[in-house]
Amino acid sequence: MAEDFKVTPWEVSGDIDYDVLMQRFGTTPIDDALMKRLGKYGELHPMLRRGIFYSHRDLGKLLDEYDKGNKFFLYTGRGPSGHTHLGHIMPWIFNKWMQDVFKVDMLFQMTDDEKFLFKDLTLKETRSLAYENALDFVALGFDPKKTKIILDTENIKELYPIALKVSKKVTFSTAKAVFGFDNSTNIGAIFFTTIQAAPAFLPSERKGKQVPCLIPCGIDQDPHFRVARDAAPGLNYPKPAMLYCKMFPGLGGGDKMSSSDELGTIYTTDNPKDVKKKVGRAFTGGCVSIEEQRQKGGNPEVCAVFKYNYYLFEKDDKKMNELAEKCKKGEILCGECKQMLTQKINVFLEEHQAKREKAKDVVDSMTFDGFKW
Ligand code: SF4
């Protein structure tokens, strides 16, 4: 059933209908005209071409400003509740592309406070996880001169005055309606959204003028930024523009890769044996027997292996179409397909893990206001 799913910043469940979700949240689809316009700045990223980044708020206005010479900055982040998996780095890879194409600054917020408030984790644990996650972020090659990593508990002095201003514009009634809080919610959690809003306004605050902001992130984060956008005009801050992606699927066939499903989740630190095992168990659109699959073919639309190629591991559209055709005609079997994906993931992880090691030398130089981990 189309309505039978839930997407909040803290919970994603059910089969997501992304069109229904867009209507529910009131975001705008990226139409052909906007896609064409984006293509003028650089060759479109596959995540745009393929509709993985599919929805936005005020992206056209942001580009108008950019064309007039009013550069935006990028802001995205991570709630450090566990080790980094492929679902986390997918939107970061896109952010890196945006930085390269538009040559803009990037603020990356680590919400260690949020995960302390919402999860059964100590502040020491969320900080240590933030460091681990930051290595993955840095490993993707963001421009060290244009990128700063915020850790909420370290940079709170800068964030707090902005969060306070935002908090004065948000009633408890709004927070309850947007996030579903009730009387059992801890009061830190109720305040938290203002801290997540703060980096969107930080350059405006520092420079004393409106600095446009673009936030490319998962659509599950929209509730936070709806609140931030509503508060912005009353504070003389620009409303942040949003660019939303779909959730990276789990290997088990679910709509979102989740750390609660260890075997359906590929971490950036997994070794080739782990990857082989996990991909080997992936949910596919194949048939129960080889004979049947040769005869009837498979169904790539429901297949996690196919989706992995589509989202991250096969950039060539022609090759994707060929794979879909071969699958549907029974010309390729799931075993072979899984083997190819395993290899692609392992090649990616080997390179990523080497860069992740090197990131340890530079991560300190990329912290906001120079804090040390
Ligand atoms: Fe998926 Fe490949 Fe099997 Fe088709 S052949 S269902 S794409 S794993």
pLDDT tens across 229-248, in order? Answer: 999 999 999 999 999 999 99
Whole-model pTM above 0.85?
yes
Dihedrals phi, psi of 106, to nearest 5 degrees: -135, 130
> What is the 161 CA–ligand 1 centroid distance (Å)?
52
Q: Is 82 in the pocket of ligand 1 (CB under 6 A)?
A: no
Which residue has a Cα nearest atom 4 of ligand 1? 327
| 224 in the same domain as 184 | yes
Region 62-77: what's the mean pLDDT?
A: 97
pLDDT grade for 158, boundaries at 50, 70 and 90: very high
Task: Indicate whether 363 belongs to any domain.
Answer: no
Q: Is 330 in the pocket of ligand 1 (CB under 6 A)?
A: no
Region 158-170: what's the mean pLDDT?
A: 98
pLDDT mean across residues, the chain = 95
> What is the 323 CA–ligand 1 centroid distance (Å)?
8
Distance CA 259, CA 227 (A): 27
Which atom of ligand 1 lies nearest, measured to the CA of 309?
7
Distance CA 169, CA 227 (A): 9
| 276 in the same domain as 173 | no
Region 62-73: what's the mean pLDDT?
A: 98
Q: Is 304 in the pocket of ligand 1 (CB under 6 A)?
A: no
Task: Indicate whether 256 belongs to any domain.
Answer: no
pLDDT grade for 2, boundaries at 50, 70 and 90: very low
Q: Give me the domain span that covers residue 274.
A: 262-357
In this model, does residue 21 exceed pLDDT 50? yes
Dihedrals phi, psi of 186, to nearest 5 degrees: -70, 150
| 170 in the same domain as 40 | yes
- What amino acid occupies position 328? K
Structure confidence by residue, pLDDT tens digits, 291-300:
999 999 999 9
Which residue has a Cα nearest atom 5 of ligand 1? 334
| 205 in the same domain as 317 | no
Q: Is 324 in the pocket of ligand 1 (CB under 6 A)?
A: no
pLDDT grade for 6, boundaries at 50, 70 and 90: confident
| 268 in the same domain as 242 | no
What pLDDT does residue 334 have?
A: 97
Q: Provide the number of structural domains found in the chain.
A: 2
What pLDDT does residue 12 have?
A: 82
Which two structure tokens, joined as six digits, stand for 113? Answer: 């406070």
- What amino acid occupies position 344? K
| 238 in the same domain as 147 | yes
Task: Indicate whether 190 belongs to any domain.
Answer: yes
Least confident of 88-102, 176-190, 254-268: 254-268
| 303 in the same domain as 235 | no
> What is the 15 CA–ligand 1 centroid distance (Å)?
20
Task: Tell me the best of 337, 339, 342 to mutate to test the pocket of ligand 1, counting ligand atoms within 8 Å of each CB and taking the most.
Answer: 337
8 A C-beta contact, residue 58 and residue 197: no
Task: Indicate whether 212 belongs to any domain.
Answer: yes
Q: Is 286 in the pocket of ligand 1 (CB under 6 A)?
A: yes
Distance CA 178, CA 223 (A): 6
Which atom of ligand 1 lies nearest, measured to the CA of 323?
7
What pLDDT does residue 253 have?
A: 77
Which of left, alpha, beta for 370 (phi over 0: left; psi -120 to 50: alpha)? left
Region 346-366: what's the mean pLDDT?
A: 97
Distance CA 294, CA 289 (A): 9
In this model, does residue 112 exceed pLDDT 60? yes
What pLDDT does residue 263 have?
A: 76
In this model, does residue 4 exceed pLDDT 90? no
Task: Indicate whether 278 belongs to any domain.
Answer: yes
Residues contacting 246, CB < 8 A, separation 6+: 16, 18, 51, 52, 54, 218, 219
Distance CA 356, CA 363 (A): 10
Distance CA 168, CA 165 (A): 5
Matching residue, tokens 């095992």: 277
8 A C-beta contact, residue 151 and residue 198: no
